[in-house]
Structure 1
Amino acid sequence: MRDETARRHVKARGHRAARDTEPRRSVELSPDEALRLLGSMPVGRIIFTRHALPTARPVNHVLDDGDIVIRTHEGAALVSQAQENGGHGVVVAYEADDIDPVGRTGWSVVATGYCRLVTDPGQVARYQEMLHPWTDQHMDHVVRIHPDLITGIRLVAADGDGEES
């Protein structure tokens, strides 16, 4: 069933058919390598709790001194939670990946930590220059995630050495 779903996905996106059906091996990444890979992608997903349930939103980001920085809007649930928590931060996860559905290789990284609103006007202006949201919605808030836990895996051919990028 899963192979048929994968074949439909590949066909719908115009990719060539996946021919390599050999199993893949999962190789654990060091936190430094995981953060480097996360920084190589312009978009990821922020995962937070909303109404006691996990919620994920795709956002673009930048890395700044090991922290993940995103912009968001006034009405965002994440902004409300951060404001209600008195500046102590809200625990979130941030995930980015680069998976090749044809070759069935790639990587996935999850960074977990506290997210806080950036309130210093100079820093807000700096991040507004560095980070341009992809949507037409006015993103007037900046959020910084300081990762306390960074994990990642790389999917490689079962006989691969795990060193591809």
Structure 2
Amino acid sequence: MTHRQHLELLDRDSCLALLQTVQVGRLVFTEGALPAVQPVNFRLHRGQLVIRVAGGAKLSAATRNAVVAFEADELDQDLRCGWSVTVVGHANLITAVGELVELSGTWLVPWADGRRDRFVRIQAERVTGRRLQPPLSTTA
């Protein structure tokens, strides 16, 4: 008997729905002309990813309108199944007062200590995802 997983390619709506079920992902950006990856907590707002930052390279990427990538997943190593969603798009600093008021407060509370009073939007220009279903038993 062999066990095979079924790999499902996900559409944009399915990907965005899965992103709403987790709070942490990985932001991929350029720092000093090299790729950098950092875990970030995030939320979806109006179909776009939003993170809070204090400054540094993430803020720099946002103020340059840089292209960034973001990945979040939920995997079960024992069952060998799960999903992964990747978002690629431009990062920009949110400056509109009305939107900042809407985003402030407890809507997106950073996990790490320290002041993080800037909000960065990642325009979801390319959204891709895959889901690996639990193994199907078949006879050889």
- Give the structure-1-normalised TM-score: 0.76
Higher relative contact order (CA 8 A, sep 6+): 2
Give the Cα–Cα distance (whole angstroms) in 1 for the partners of residues 49 and 30 of structure 2. 18
Letter in 2 for 1:49: T
Name 2:44's counterpart in structure 1. 63
Name 1:150's counterpart in structure 2. 127
Question: Which of 52, 57, 77 pairs up with 2:57?
Answer: 77
Q: Flag the structure with higher helix content.
A: 1
Give the Cα–Cα distance (whole angstroms) in 2 for the partners of residues 95 and 82 of structure 1. 17
Per-residue CA deviation, residues 136-159 of structure 1 (Å, 9 max, x unaligned), is 121011001111110000011353
Q: Matched residue of 1:59: which SS? A: strand
Question: % of aligned pairs identical?
Answer: 39
Over the residues paired in the alignment, what is the CA RMSD in angstroms?
Answer: 1.7
Deviation (angstroms), 1:42: 1.0
How many equivalent pairs are there? Answer: 135
Q: Matched residue of 2:111: which SS? A: coil
Deviation (angstroms), 1:40: 1.3
Q: Do structure 1's residue 103 and structure 2's residue 103 form an aligned pair? A: no
Letter in 1 for 2:34: L
Give the Cα–Cα distance (whole angstroms) in 2 for the partners of residues 120 and 47 of structure 1. 25
Name 1:26's counterpart in structure 2. 7
Structure 1 runs (4+) deviating above 2 angstroms are: 21-25, 157-160
Preserved CA contact (<8 Å) 1:22 1:157: no
Deviation (angstroms), 1:22: 3.3
Q: Do structure 1's residue 36 and structure 2's residue 12 form an aligned pair? A: no
Give the Cα–Cα distance (whole angstroms) in 1 for the partners of residues 45 and 30 of structure 2. 24
Larger Rg: 1
What residue ranges of structure 1 are gaps of 5+ in the alignment? Answer: 1-20, 161-165
Give the Cα–Cα distance (whole angstroms) in 2 for the partners of residues 82 and 109 of structure 1. 21
What residue ranges of structure 2 are gaps of 5+ in the alignment? Answer: none
Q: Flag the structure with higher strand content.
A: 2
